[in-house]
Amino acid sequence: MTDQQAAGSGYAAARLALLREDERSGAARRQALSQLTDRWLSGLLADALQGAPAQGVALVAVGGYGRGELSPRSDLDVLLLHDGGARAAAVPALAERLWYPVWDQGVALDHSVRDLGQARKVAAEDLKAQLGLLDARHVAGDQELTAQLRSAVLADWRATAPKRLPELRELCRERAERQGELAFLLEPDLKEARGGLRDVTALDAVAASWVADAPRAGLADAATRLRDVRDALHLVTGRTTDRLSLQEQDAVAADLGLLDADILLRQVYESARVIAYAADVTWREVERVLRARSGRGSRRMFGFGGGAAGSRGPVERRPLAEGVVEMEGEAVLAAPARPGNDPVLPLRAAAAAAQAGLPLALSTVRRLAAEAKPLPVPWPDEAREQLITLLGAGESAIPVWEALEAEGLVARLLPDWERVRCRPQRNAVHRWTVDRHLVETAVRAAAMTRRVARPDLLLVAAFLHDIGKGWPGDHSEAGEVITRDVATRIGFPKQDVETLALLVRHHLLLVETAMRRDPDDPATVAVVTDAVGTVGALELLHALTEADALATGPAAWSNWRATLVGELVQRAAAALAGVAPPQDSATEATAEEERLAVEAARTVGPALSVRAETEGGEGTGSEAMGVELTLALPDRPDVLPTVAGVLALHRLAVRTAAIRELDPIGAGPVLVLTWKVAAEFGDVPEAARLRADIRRALDGGLDVARRLAERDASAPRRRGVVAPPPRVTVARGSSASATVLEVRAHDAPGLLHRIGRALEGTGVRVHRARISTLGADAVDAFYLTDAAGQPLSDAAATELARSVERALLA
């Protein structure tokens, strides 16, 4: 046996003994394996030099080996570096004497031979080679030569960062599209998938560029956990692999001392989420810095962010909601915001960011996590509305939700969430973990809010429908119990709590019944009608069923299934049609409404009262959660759009509104409008100012439509959420004395003004209205008659609905 063979045998035996040590594992074992390999290769280089000095030649570890992260089956990635001097001609022979003993041991070797200039040239042409050299570490030979390489490579990397970082971002994007997201895959690639070890390497490269750095909290631990899993996978399989296949998961879990494969996957998923979130934050910061350096203003580089100001001039801040502004393409807290005094602020900031299509800034999320006080139980109405607004934002809610979760705010808001967080679903049909499936279902439901009368209940039911999967037993039954508790905690009234519990309990009912029962059998329809009880609940369950299936994966929904479920719903709706329709009788007028109506009738002008509301009753100042405006004035055609427009000009968001007719002194009808409004920013204006502006608008001295158009034209264009189009329908059979028009649309400043103008332009009379805002959706009902006070004909009502819908789409 030659000396080289003996050395190789010694390395193999020592390596095997190291891998069998129970007391040394994880990072300590990877470091020990790297050090053992260093000593072996150092000896091989000395032998290959045959007694010649090592000056001008160095053996350099690169890539994972350079970082000292050798896994049991990792390749040895090494560079034989030389100075290109007189000994350059002898280097190829030296390399052969060095590599052959490594190959003889069956060790996987990724090797190259270059001088300093060649190494820099290859790095300049090949991004992956440059990334490997960023981790260059001296193993043996001329240490000064290795130092020169490291200095040159780092200097080149920093000098070319504006060009190379966008290339690196694109590589990460392409890899993520090809490999998927580690946090949701049943058989993930621990290295290549998004949130895997390749992303950790990319983040280290960004930090080395001095352009930006990743949020480091938890990042090192997440990377270490993935490397530990990869080590166990190598030991269990005995081969070089990074894919955690199903058949290996139990053995890998056992090797790591975990109870089962589900716990293993949850740990993998949690680590991947930390890494993926850090990558998202880092690439946004890279884009911001490079954009500022180039002075390109709001041009976007990678597809993140956008809308940020360049480095010239002051940073622009645009208001999004009370205490929240847009700055440099992110949602941040306004300077006066005080999270410690505003427990709703985390949800308001999240909702505003999602609705604007913006990410929440890392500093903002961390400040909210550190300073915001817990919400009272039950939640204030605003908190519930902001959660619904967040869920209703669609796709843009996902990165905002991930930011809240990364800083622990989700678990603080909803303690029951922790049981489903990162919980795997071992079913090939499911694309997501349980928690992400719930968010994805809400995203799908957000596109269906025009189909239901209660979009808020649809969104929350979608968000909670599988919440029971974190508990033993039937998840629908467990979910019903949890939903009652959660819905009560977040402030829904009792009837809504029961509806949500019903939807969660029966969220599989329509699919299972349609697929397994004879649709022509009356008993089949009875199964559905007995469970849901009302047409409204059936409508919600139908939309929830579709959203759930679409969020599950492509195999869960098809045209055939949609048809079967749709036909079953039609039969059930027909069976439920015998239930008496809701009556249109209104509650009696309050004493305050009657007082104002008398004043308006006697003065033939507007009479207005303003009452501030808090969660605990009446109040004023910063404690006020909203304001109730009651306005009475003699009946005239343009009241609704005019008053709604004035409120919009004062940036008052209408939460609810009601219109009724009174005749208090027998001198003719007086319209009484009761509005609950909230200031979008700042405080509600004084009652005298509102009254004066309303009077001016009614008298023609204030052109409300022109002022609103001017303000909209000057407002900056944001990406924001692409909301479903408005839907206007005739609710036939809802009233014996009037035609009821229902409008479902995305809530926006001036929406009620636009609806009112569209109605007034048709010549119909609005006798009553019920306006409600549910999250980001407006669901309004208008009781209309013709000029003679009669309900509209079917044809006229249908044409009116189309006309209003066209006006809202314009």
| Closest to 452 in 3D by CA, of 379, 503, 384 | 503
Of the two residues 299 and 665, the one the predictor is more confident about is 665
Band of residue 718 on the pLDDT scale cut at 50, 70, 90: low
pLDDT at 624 over 50: no
Chain-centre distance of CA 803, in angstroms? Answer: 35
Q: How far apart are CA 479 and CA 464, in angstroms?
A: 8
pLDDT recorded at residue 309: 39
Q: Is 63 exposed, middle or buried, given 0-12, 13-18 or 19+ CB atoms closer than 10 A?
A: buried
Give the CA radius of gyration of the chain. Answer: 33
Count of CB atoms situated within 10 Å of the CB of 667: 11
Query: What pLDDT is recorded for position 721?
Result: 64
Residue 688 CB burial class (10 angstroms; 0-12, 13-18, ≥19): exposed
Mean pLDDT of 297-302: 44
451 token code pair:
């189909």
Q: What is the pLDDT of residue 621?
A: 36
Q: Which residue has the higher pLDDT, 579 or 262?
A: 262
Secondary structure (DSSP) of 516-576? HS-TTSHHHHHHHHHHH-SHHHHHHHHHHHHHHHHHH-GGG--HHHHHHHHHHHHHHHHHH
How many Å apart are CA 414 and CA 433, to the nearest integer?
Answer: 17
Whole-angstrom CA distances from 729 to 457, 726, 765 are 20, 10, 17
Q: Which of 9-23, 402-416, 449-463 has the lowest mean pLDDT?
A: 9-23
Is the CB of residue 200 less than 8 Å from the CB of residue 134?
no
**Strand ordering across the sheet containing 765-774:** 617-618, 607-614, 626-634, 670-679, 652-662, 765-774, 777-785, 739-746, 727-730
Residue with the two structure tokens 């849901």: 532
3-state secondary structure of 772: strand
Tell me what pLDDT residue 308 has. 40
Q: Can you tell me the distance from the alpha carbon of 427 to that of 372, in angstroms, rounded to the nearest whole number? A: 38
Residue 305: its pLDDT value, please? 40
Tokens of 318: 């645009």
Task: Give the integer Cα–Cα distance in Å for 266 and 144.
Answer: 46
Q: Which residue has the higher pLDDT, 162 or 776?
A: 162
Of 235, 423, 384, 480, the C-alpha closest to 776 is 384
Supply the pLDDT for residue 716. 61
Tokens representing residue 631 in the block: 């306005």
Q: Which amino acid does the sequence have at 711?
A: R
Cα separation, 400 vs 354, whole angstroms:
6
Q: Tell me how far apart the alpha carbons of residues 401 and 273 are, in angstroms, rounded to a whole number.
A: 12
* pLDDT given at position 462: 98
Give dist(CA 212, CA 285) in Å, integer: 6
pLDDT of residue 689: 86
| pLDDT tens-digit series, residues 136-171 | 999 999 999 999 999 999 999 999 999 999 999 999
Average pLDDT of the residues of the chain: 87
pLDDT value of position 314: 58
User: Model pTM?
Assistant: 0.82
* 620 pLDDT tier (thresholds 50, 70, 90): very low
| Average pLDDT estimate for 328-337 | 92
Element (H, E) at 659: strand 652-662
Q: Directed axis angle between helix 522-532 and helix 509-516, to 10°?
A: 170
For residue 364, what are the CA distances in angstroms to 58, 304, 371, 372, 617?
Answer: 48, 18, 10, 11, 31
**Separation CA 457–CA 492 (nearest Å):** 10
pLDDT of residue 650: 87
Beta-sheet strand order (sheet of 324-327) = 317-321, 324-327, 330-333
Distances in Å between the alpha carbon of 64 and those of 130, 181, 354?
A: 13, 22, 38
> Residue 441 contacts by C-beta under 8 Å, 6 or more apart in sequence?
462, 463, 465, 466, 544, 547, 548, 551
Q: What is d(CA 313, CA 325) in angstroms, rounded to the nearest whole number?
A: 18
Q: Give the pairing of strands 109-115 and 76-82.
A: parallel
| Interatomic CA distance for residues 57 and 682, integer angstroms | 70
pLDDT in tens, 77-103: 999 999 987 678 889 999 999 999 999
Higher pLDDT, 703 or 554: 703
For residues 108 and 106, what is the distance between their CA atoms, to the nearest angstrom? 6
Residues forming beta bridges with residue 676, ordered by sequence position: 628, 656
Tell me how far apart the alpha carbons of residues 414 and 409 are, in angstroms, rounded to a whole number: 9
Beta pairing, strands 330-333 & 324-327: antiparallel
Q: What interhelical angle do 26-49 and 91-104 show, nearest 10? A: 130
Residue 618: helix, strand or coil by DSSP? strand
Tokens of 689: 């100012």
559-586 mean pLDDT: 77
Poorest-pLDDT segment among 4-18, 93-107, 265-279: 4-18
| Cα dihedral sign, 122-128-131-132 | negative
Which of 108, 67, 365 is closest to 223 using CA atoms? 67
Record the tokens describing residue 663, joined without a space.
């005749």
User: Which two three-digit tokens encode residue 282?
Assistant: 């880092």
Joined together, the tokens standing for residue 364 give 């903002």
Q: How far apart are alpha carbons 243 and 211 in whole angstroms?
A: 32
Cβ(331)–Cβ(357) below 8 Å: no
Dist CA 517 CA 303 (whole Å): 48
Q: How confident is the model at residue 719 (pLDDT cuts 50, 70, 90)?
A: low
Q: Over range 369-393, report the average pLDDT.
A: 95
pLDDT digits (tens, 9 = 90+) for 518-534: 777 788 899 999 999 99
Band (pLDDT 50/70/90 cuts) for residue 720 is: low
- For residue 766, the number of C-alpha atoms closer than 13 Å in the C-beta half-sphere is 31
Share of the chain above pLDDT 70, in %: 92
Enumerate the β-bridge partners of residue 631.
608, 673
pLDDT, mean of residues 382-396: 95
Q: pLDDT tens, 251-260?
A: 999 999 999 9
- At CA 146, angle to CA 143 and CA 152, rounded to 5? 140
- Terminal CA-to-CA distance of the chain, rounded, Å? 88
Mean pLDDT throughout 367-377? 95
Write down the pLDDT at residue 360. 95
* Residue 540: count of CB within 10 angstroms of its CB: 27
For 437, the token pair is 């499936």
Higher-confidence residue of 761 and 703: namely: 703
Distance between CA atoms of 15 and 17, rounded to whole angstroms?
5
Band (426; pLDDT cuts 50, 70, 90): confident
**In 10 A of CB 168, how many CB atoms?**
21
What pLDDT is recorded for position 315? 65
Q: Which residue has the higher pLDDT, 278 or 88?
A: 278
Q: Tell me how crowded residue 465 is: count the other CB atoms within 10 A of its CB.
A: 30
> Is 681's pLDDT higher than 50?
yes
Over residues 438-461, the mean pLDDT reads 95
Over the range 169-184, which residues count as b (16 or more CB within 10 Å of their CB) and which as e?
Answer: beebeebbeebbbbbb
Q: What band does 757 get if pLDDT is binned at 50, 70 and 90?
A: confident
Instruction: Quote the pLDDT of residue 364.
Output: 96
In 3-state terms, what secondary structure has residue 641?
helix
Question: What local confidence, expressed as pLDDT, does residue 625 receive?
Answer: 54
Q: What angle do CA 348, 724, 575 make, to 5 degrees?
A: 110
